[in-house]
Structure formats: structure tokens, C-alpha cells
A = this chain, B = another copy of it.
Amino acid sequence: MSQSPPADLPDAATAPPSAPAPRQRRKQARPHELLAAALTLFGEKGFAATRIEEVAALAGVSKGTLYLYYPSKEALLKAVIREHLGQLLDAGENLVATFDGPTSQLLSVLLHTWWDRVGNTPASAIHKIMLSEARNFPEIAAFYNDEVTRPAQRLLASCLQRGIDRGEFRALPVQPTAMNLLAPVIFLMLHKHSFGACSQSQQIVDPAAVIATQIDLVLHGLLLQGDSATTPVAPPAS
């Protein structure tokens, strides 16, 4: 898809003379094209099973060219992750800070926005890659924890706290609750790049429905109103 062949050279020619020559433009664009190709393939086949040459070919260059930009396969992986780290959270960062309505609505907007801007995007492959390779690249895993996981949890936790502070939410423990909010969202992302990509399972998971249901579910719960006598529920003796 992003093979953008030499066909764009004419376009370049119409650019004002102060614009860089096509060769220059390519040089600038190369890293992103390579990272996009790598993201796609690492997400599809996994890091180990992806050949450098495939990445290069998908980016429309030769093997050697890739090495002009990234000194090793591992460096390429790191660059892919670094490139997309911000995007996983940027969308929601200041939404929480500026939002003014009821927290339930904030939560809803947050999750839907996230799916639109991230989950439904190639960047969503990052989580699958991380999951598969975390143990092979502990530094990257730590990096990811610091830059993505923890901030995401903090974002959701602050949102929950807001609801509790404003008297909208019950005072559930925010950390585990945040995890429960995050989990379906991550699940969708992972599913999209694994089973979801295998044709026959599309009907099993419908992202929009899952998210919409999640909002309803976590806000109102399963139980009918007034049926508060059901619990407490204790874990079974193992």
C-alpha cells in the first residue's frame, strides 16, 4: 500500500524550487516508510519470523538501504516501538484534563476515541509485538512499561478518581478497576492482529459492539436495580 512508487516523482517536480529534490524527499521519507513496513510485518508475522528483506521490499527499497537507516534488526524493532509510543496515548492525554461533563461520558468518549485513533490504526500492532517480544527484549519492555502501560493506567485511574471524587462513581479500588477498563480495549487490539486476521473469526468479535457494551456494563453492571442482595461473592476454595 505505501509502496509509493517512482510515480510520485512528477508530483515532486511540481513543487516549488525551494522544496527538496525528489532524492532528498525520499531520504527524509525513508525512515517512516521503513518503520511503517516493519510495523506491518512484525505485527503480522512476529519479529523473528519477519525477514529484513521483506521489510525492505514492502518499503520499496533494497535490503542494503534499510541498513543505511537502522544498523540492525533489533534497532529497527526499537525504532518501530519508539515511533509509535506516543500515539498510543496522545489522543486521550488532555481530554481528561479539559473535559467538563459527567465522568461516565468522559469514560465513554475516552474509549471510543482511543479505538478510533489508535485501536483501529496500524499502531495497534505495537501491543502484539511487545507482548510477543517483551521477554526477549527486557529493556524494550521496561521502556514500554514506562512510556505506555503506566501512563495509560494513570490516565484511567485519574478518570476513575474524578468520578469518585465528584460522587458519580462507587469507590472501587482504582488500580484494578483501571485494569478492567483497559483489558477489553487491549484485547480488541490484540485480537485484531491475531485471530481477527484469520478470516472466519470476524463475526466472533465486533469491536464497536464490545466497546459500547463495555461502557454500559461497567457503568450499570449486570444486576437489575435493587438486586443488591446477591453478593458478597467469595472466591471458591481452590
Residue positions of A touching B, CB distance < 8 A = 44-49, 102, 104-105, 107-109, 112-113, 116-117, 128, 130-136, 138, 141-142, 144-145, 149-150, 153, 160, 163, 167-170, 172-173, 175-177, 179-180, 182-184, 186-188, 190, 193-195, 197-198, 200-201, 204-206, 208-225, 227-228, 230-231, 233-236, 238
Contact = CB atoms under 8 A, between A and B. Distances in A.
Given A172-B213, A176-B210, A222-B169, A46 B186 contact: no
Contacts of A130: 194-195
A35 B87 CA distance: 39
A201 B149 contact: yes
A132 B135 contact: no
A46 B48 contact: yes
A223 B169 contact: yes
Given A141-B194, A149-B195, 19 more contacts: A45-B136, A46-B47, A49-B136, A104-B233, A105-B230, A107-B222, A116-B235, A142-B200, A145-B198, A169-B223, A170-B220, A176-B206, A183-B186, A186-B187, A208-B235, A217-B221, A219-B222, A221-B222, A225-B228
5 contacts: A104-B223, A167-B224, A170-B221, A179-B187, A184-B184
Given A142-B200, A230-B219, A131 B132 contact: yes
Given A136-B45, A214-B180, A198 B142 contact: yes
A229 to B, nearest CB: 9
A221 B224 contact: no
A193 B130 CA distance: 11
Contact of A134 (B198, B205, B219, B233): B198
Contacts of A186: 183, 187
Contacts of A113: 236, 238
A161 to B, nearest CB: 12
A173 B230 contact: no
B135 A197 contact: yes
Contacts of A160: 222
Contacts of A149: 195, 201, 204
